[in-house]
Chains A and B, each alone.
Chain A
Amino acid sequence: MPPNRQADAASAASRRGSPWTGLGAVIAKETADHLSSARMRILEALVFLTAIAAAYAAIRSIRATIGESPFLFLRLLTLAQDPLPSFIALLGFLIPLVAIALAFDAINGEFNRRTLSRILAQPIYRDALLLGKFLAGLLSLTIGLVSLWLLVIGLGLLLFGVPPSTEETVRMLGFLVATIAYGGVWLALALLFSVVFRAPATAALAALGVWLLFALFWPVIAPLLANLIAGPPEGIFGPRMAYLTTQQIIDRLSPNTLYGETALALLHPQTRALGPVLVSQLQGALLGAPLPVSQSFILIWPQFTGLIAATIVIFTIAYVAFQRQEIRA
């Protein structure tokens, strides 16, 4: 084993003291920074204004047909009213931007301010600094999303005059948690780029590039890749299962797809499957009947765990890259 590997191994095996020493201090400081920064206020204002506008437009449309659906509050989140997209479509688009804005300069900013070596000379491990920055970003995002969630429900209460049912509340809470998990993926990605790239502008551009790839180009790329891997979409007897399955797998490499499917299953209770449905699966099904909330949660479980897993994997890569970096600033 080379000597430096031996040193690494020895260190990992016998490093003493909790890796989370100082974690609370990092989270408190970083969260305060986020919540008071002009950057976050601008983004929050943008998200709040557009989301409230979308919700308000949906409410006006729903009020005209108020007796037609038992899920008024879910429709409030999912109904698009021209020219505005639905509340969930807006969130799906804007949450990555907010998450990237929270983390693209998390580590390289410390390098550039020349604060990193001073901070790491305090009795903390790098683990606490990186995790603290991630958790502070997630906490800031959660605070913003919970506020927005409460605001939209409050708006619905005022304008509908009826409270959400228990099932609606549970579904909306599930959606809120899934949205936080979706934000976590982009936060971890921006954090990774902030470790890898020394210039914050480069890190921001790289993260935005990935966001554009998944938001705009992935729906185009996925069918092309599926075609290359599994052959043409149509066979002699209609759509080919191999193609559909391959395209679905490729689609689901995108956090946007995972989040979109989660939102669909939670906020449209009629959704019975998130992929190709065989005729045999429809036998005995009451089409258009809503699924119980527990069944919807079972349906989105793989997508939800996929989002969490993606966050963990990306954070781990960032962690390893950060541990290997030389601290000289």
Chain B
Amino acid sequence: MADEIVIRAEGLTKRYGPNLAVDHIDFEVKAGEIVGILGPNGSGKTTTILMLLGLTEPTGGRALVAGFDPLREPLEVKRRVGYLPDQVGFYDGLSARDNLTYTGRLAGLPRAEIDARFDAALARVGLSHVGNARVGTFSQGMRQRLGLAEILMKRPTIAILDEPTTALDPHSTQEFLAMIRGLKADGTAVLLSSHHLDQVQSVCDRVALFNRGRIALSGTVTELAGRVLGGGHVIDVEARGSGIADRLAAVPGVVRVQALGASPESQRYRVDCQRDLRAEIARRLAPEVDLLGIHFAAPSLNEVYTRYFEEARDAAE
């Protein structure tokens, strides 16, 4: 069940006149997986989401979402997909209950079921105390939670979240990310579009990097780091002595050495390697250099992203 593919896109393409917004993309999302989609504005993320939801028609290629074609069976797709758009909007004059009752009725849920699911969903996102309050009195963070409650009410196979934490403060963001992990725990596949790379890295199993309508890279952060930074392993080294950077760079398999800072007692370096070189580095530094610490550092998605687009820009120039 965990390996069941719930989203499959094959050659998915969208053209607006002469502009190619999405250019023959292929990707898959499995049940219970959180996949981040990243990329600069205009790179095709939202258009892809809209095609998966059946809200815009692809110019070419095809997609299967929860086993249905969004082009021909959009109602079946939308019954199984929860969508939280960027800065979600609600009817301000209606209460949270009335807003979600309306979408529950649109989803075809019976009234009693709507009430039961509403109470459970609101409790889960921590809004039980304002269920009957007008949404016009809600902060943006509360609206985002209410949007998530709407998804929970639907009990979807897939949740698509487009920039869900954009307007949230740090505390609310952490709470929201915990709720996203909760969706995964329920077995819901999550497609998360965001510009907040640290957040994506903290919750996503895999990421797909969009650039000019194409998926330039996809995989786990470690896999991406291996392809972009030249090494899948990042090792932090703290040592005391001279010529440390040169010694590190001379170790076979080291791709890059970056100085992180120095104090009177020690110097710190980050080393990108093609494999686990901790033992080799320790051997090469000794005995001239005092090795004070050596450990794995998680590769940073931010670093992967920045490096990829620097290289893409350089290549374009």
Interface set of A (CB-CB < 8 Å, partner B): 3-4, 7-8, 10-11, 14-17, 21-22, 25-26, 28-29, 33, 113-115, 117-125, 326-329
Chain A residue with the shortest CB-CB distance to B98: A29
Contacting residue for A113 out of B50, B89, B106, CB 8 A = B89
A122 with B107: CB separation less than 8 A: yes
B90 with A25: CB separation less than 8 A: no
How distant is B69 from chain A, measured CB to nearest CB, in Å? 9
Contacting residue for A118 out of B56, B83, B108, CB 8 A = B83
In the bound assembly, the distance between CA atoms of A122 and B59 in angstroms comes to 23
Q: Which residues of chain A come closer than 8 Å to B102, judged between CB atoms?
A: 25, 29
A121 with B89: CB separation less than 8 A: no
Contacts of B29-58 to chain A: CB distance below 8 A: 46, 50, 53, 55-58
- Contacts A121-B78, A123-B78, A328-B46 hold; do A15 and B72 have CB atoms under 8 A apart? yes
Q: Which residue, A7, A10, A114, A117, has most C-beta atoms of chain B within 10 A?
A: A117
Chain B, residues 61-102, CB within 8 Å of chain A (1/0): the string is: 000000000011111101101111101111111000000001
Please report the total number of B residues contacting A with Cβ < 8 Å: 38
7 examples of A-B residue contacts, CB within 8 angstroms: A17-B75, A113-B90, A115-B90, A117-B55, A119-B106, A123-B108, A326-B50
How distant is A121 from chain B, measured CB to nearest CB, in Å? 4
Chain B residue with the shortest CB-CB distance to A121: B83
A122 with B85: CB separation less than 8 A: no
Chain A residue with the shortest CB-CB distance to B71: A11
Interface set of B (CB-CB < 8 Å, partner A): 15, 46, 50, 53, 55-60, 71-76, 78-79, 81-85, 87-93, 102-103, 105-108, 147, 150
B83 with A26: CB separation less than 8 A: no
- Contacts A4-B15, A22-B106 hold; do A115 and B58 have CB atoms under 8 A apart? no
Chain B residue with the shortest CB-CB distance to A114: B89
Contacting residue for B71 out of A7, A29, A114, A120, CB 8 A = A7
Chain A residue with the shortest CB-CB distance to B102: A29
A7 with B85: CB separation less than 8 A: no
Chain A residue with the shortest CB-CB distance to B86: A114
- Contacts A113-B91, A123-B79 hold; do A16 and B107 have CB atoms under 8 A apart? no
Contacting residue for A327 out of B50, B73, B92, B93, CB 8 A = B50
B83 with A114: CB separation less than 8 A: no
Chain B residue with the shortest CB-CB distance to A132: B106
In the bound assembly, the distance between CA atoms of A328 and B53 in angstroms comes to 12
